[in-house]
Amino acid sequence: MAATFRGTTPEPPDVRPRLTVLSGPSGVGKSTVVAHMRKEHPEVWLSVSATTRRPRPGEKHGVHYFFVSDEEMDKLIANGELLEWAEFAGNRYGTPRTAVLEHLESGVPVLLEIDLQGARQVRESMSEAHSVFLAPPSWEELVRRLTGRGTEPPEVIERRLEAAKIELAAEPEFDATLVNTSVEDVARELLALMEVV
Confidence category of residue 52, pLDDT binned at 50, 70, 90: very high
Q: How far apart are the C-alpha atoms of 152 and 88, rounded to whole Å?
A: 14
Which DSSP symbol is given to 1? -
- For residue 8, pLDDT beyond 50: no
H runs (alpha helix) in the chain: 30-40, 70-78, 97-105, 116-125, 139-148, 154-169, 183-194
Confidence category of residue 177, pLDDT binned at 50, 70, 90: very high
The arithmetic mean of pLDDT across residues 21-31, rounded, is 92
Burial class (CB in 10 A: 0-12, 13-18, 19+), 170: middle
- For residue 63, pLDDT beyond 80: yes
Task: Provide the pLDDT for residue 111.
Answer: 95
The arithmetic mean of pLDDT across residues 151-161, rounded, is 83
Confidence category of residue 196, pLDDT binned at 50, 70, 90: low
The model's pTM is 0.80
Which residues are known binding-site members for ATP?
24-31
Query: What percentage of the chain reaches a pLDDT higher than 70?
Result: 90
Which residues are known binding-site members?
24-31
Confidence category of residue 86, pLDDT binned at 50, 70, 90: confident
Task: Provide the pLDDT for residue 115.
Answer: 86
Q: The sheet that has 50-51: what strands, in order across it?
A: 66-67, 50-51, 91-96, 82-88
SS3 16: coil
Q: Whole-angstrom distance between the N-terminal and C-terminal Cα of the chain?
A: 17
Query: What percentage of the chain reaches a pLDDT higher than 90?
Result: 62
Q: How far apart are the C-alpha atoms of 133 and 136, rounded to whole Å?
A: 10
Domains annotated on the chain, with CATH: 20-194 (3.40.50.300)
